[in-house]
Amino acid sequence: MNSGTFMKTTIIKVLAISLFLSTVLCAMESIFPEEEESKEERLLGMILRMNEEQMRDYIESLSIDEINEKHGETEQALLHITTTVGNIKQIKLLIKKNADVNPKSKYFSPLRIACLSNNQEAYQLLSRAGSVESYSVIIPQEDS
C-alpha cells in the first residue's frame, strides 16, 4: 500500500470513528440528560467567579428580601453560601446590610458552617452580630 492510499484509509477510519463517537454521545445525552443547575448552584458559581468589587456591587444592589431569600433544595440564604465560601468581606457586608444572621435551612446555620469549616473569624463575626447556634432546622416532611 502506498503512502497516499494509507493516508486516505486512515482519514476515512478517523472520520468513521468520530461519527460513531458523536452518535454514541448524542444517544447518551438523550438517555442521561444533564440535570439543570439549581439556583443555589448558579449563585455559588457566581460568588466564586466574582472579584471583590463585583461581589460588593452585587450585594449592595440587593434588597433585604433578596439577601434573605432561600435558595435550592437546602433552602440556604446568601449568608449560608458566603460563609461556606469563607469570604469574610462578603460576610461583613451582608451583616452590614442587615442580613438575617439566624436564617433557617434544611441543614446548618451560617454559624455552624463557620464552626465546621474552622473559620474562626467568620464565627466571631457572626456571633458578634447575634447569630446563635440552633439545631432547629427545617425538617423535610416525608410524603404520606
Of the candidates 112, 109, 88, 113, the one whose C-alpha atom is nearest the C-alpha of residue 100 is 109
The residues spanned by each domain of the chain are: 1-31, 39-128
| CATH code, residues 39-128 | 1.25.40.20
Per-residue pLDDT of the chain (144 residues; tens, 9 = 90+): 676 677 677 777 766 666 666 666 655 555 555 566 666 677 778 877 888 888 888 889 989 999 999 887 788 899 988 898 888 999 999 999 999 999 888 888 899 888 888 889 999 999 999 998 755 444 455 565
Phi, psi of 108 (to 5 degrees): -115, 155
Q: Taking the C-alpha atoms of 28, 33, 37 and 38 in order, what is their torsion angle to the nearest 10 degrees?
A: -150
Q: How far is CA 40 from the centre of its chain?
A: 5
Q: Look up the pTM and report it.
A: 0.65
